[in-house]
Amino acid sequence: MRCLYFALASVVVLSGCKREGTAFTAPRKLAGKTVSAEVLNEGQVAYLQYCRACHGDQGNGEGPAAIGLRPPPRNFTQGEFKFGWVLDQKLPRDEDLVRIVRSNLHGSAMVGWEVPDEKLTTIIQYIKTFSDAWKDDDAVGEPVVPAPDPWVGKESAAIARGKLLYHGYTQCLTCHPAYASPEEISAASQQLSQKPTTEFRPHMYQPELKDSDYTAYGYKVQLLPPDFLVNTIKSPRDETQLADLYRLLVAGVTGAAMPAWDPNVLPEKTSDVWALAYYVRSLVQLRQTTAGLALRAKLNATPQPQPGDVKGGPR
Ligand code: HEC
Ligand code: HEC
């Protein structure tokens, strides 16, 4: 009755009524699975109730509550996701999307929404209809499966190895802050790649703002890599969970400058991924501690190394 009344009143509202569960009349094939019109219609209704405020009617991240959110809500029409933890930067599996919605992207506006399970299942199918990326039968990636942790009981050795890789091999410090002296960085790169770093980016003790693939309101979204001593990291279900750090390092943050690390390109393969995870965790655990604040203050006070300050060559 209400719909009829509004339908007569305006075309805009007519489309509003259509959204109340009548948009889909035929099943859709989404990432190789056939999803019924009924599920999609239910998903649409639940989406409008729980997600629309931020992600918008059209799934483009321009909902009424999105204004001013940094980072902005995901634009589902792009068909790209940051925290799927799957290989080859492909699309996440349904269980990955459930994890993302349930687990809270810490420090962002995307908090762990309490949507009933049966509704969430339908919402997840519905959000796939916003992008053609899901039409491809093998659009979805294989999950990252962590290898066994070789460092159990050897935590300080793992942290030391991770610190060496971070500063001397895996280039984390080109985006995230450095946490070591120029001399330590040079020695680490000499040890791991026989090529000592002698030039350092300006403000290397601060994170560097990076472009991403994501857009909002027609603009490219820039993202600040976290300073592990200061910022929360978003996707691990618990920031101190090493296996989740492992998953995100191997998967990368798709579309966000944060590369995916294939363990095979690291000197000690999966053992080095674990070492990086231990090192990141050790920094996270210093956050808001006296030792962490002291380290941040020391880094802030370290002068920018000038050309020639750190000499190249074996030492
Ligand atoms: C209060 C605003 C808000 C609401 C409501 C909201 N989200 Fe989000 N959502 C965000 C923001 C902000 C991000 C981006 C976080 C980022 O990029 O780090 C996001 C990101 C996402 C992502 C992308 C994660 C990735 O790996 O790229 C998914 C999926 C998602 N939201 C699903 C949902 C679903 C499903 C609902 C409804 C149950 C919902 N969101 C409700 C704000 C919201
Ligand atoms: C080319 C730039 C770049 C490099 C190199 C890089 N990162 Fe990142 N990293 C980013 C950006 C940008 C983000 C923020 C993504 C976001 O907020 O959506 C990020 C996020 C992260 C996160 C947090 C993910 C989350 O769930 O919030 C961790 C942990 C991380 N990086 C670790 C590392 C480590 C360890 C290395 C080196 C092995 C590294 N990164 C190399 C750019 C980079």
Sequence-ordered list of residues with C-beta below 8 angstroms from that of 37, at least 6 positions apart, any chain: 24, 25, 26, 27, 28
Q: Are residues 63 and 15 in the same domain?
A: yes
Q: Are residues 15 and 88 in the same domain?
A: yes
Residue 310 located in a structural domain: no
Residue 146 located in a structural domain: no
User: Which residue segment(s) compose the domain that 45 sits in?
Assistant: 2-135
pLDDT at 315: 41
**CATH code, domain with 81:** 1.10.760
Tokens of 86: 């799957």
Residue 149 located in a structural domain: no
Q: Are residues 186 and 295 in the same domain?
A: yes
Q: Are residues 79 and 217 in the same domain?
A: no
pLDDT at 312: 65
- Residue from 35, 33, 32, 2 nearest 17 by CA: 2
Tokens of 236: 């691990």
Q: Are residues 127 and 229 in the same domain?
A: no
Q: Are residues 9 and 112 in the same domain?
A: yes
Q: Are residues 235 and 106 in the same domain?
A: no
Q: Is the peptide bond before 73 cis (omega within 30 degrees of 0)?
A: no
pLDDT at 21: 47
Q: Which residue has the tokens 């996270």?
A: 284
Nearest CA to ligand 1 atom 2: 54
Residue 75 located in a structural domain: yes
Domain boundary among 103, 135, 167: 135
Q: Which ligand is nearest to the CA of 263?
A: 2
Distance 101 CA to ligand 1 centre (A): 7
Q: Are residues 215 and 273 in the same domain?
A: yes
Domain boundary among 81, 101, 135: 135
Give the max Cα distance, the chain: 83
Distance 217 CA to ligand 1 centre (A): 16
Query: What domain count does the chain have?
Result: 2
Residue 147 located in a structural domain: no
The answer to whether 250 and 143 have CB atoms below 8 angstroms apart is no
Tokens of 141: 């990636």
Nearest CA to ligand 1 atom 3: 54
Q: Are residues 93 and 58 in the same domain?
A: yes
Residue 223 located in a structural domain: yes
Alpha carbon distance 255, 29 (integer Å)? 25
Question: What is the mean pLDDT, run by run of 10 residues, along the chain of 315 residues?
Answer: 40 42 87 97 97 96 94 96 97 96 84 89 98 97 98 98 98 97 96 94 96 94 97 91 97 96 97 98 97 97 88 56
| From 95, 110, 117, mutation site for ligand 1 pocket: most ligand atoms within 8 A of C-beta | 110
Q: Are residues 8 and 77 in the same domain?
A: yes
pLDDT at 240: 87
Q: Are residues 184 and 287 in the same domain?
A: yes
Residue 145 located in a structural domain: no
Q: Are residues 259 and 159 in the same domain?
A: yes
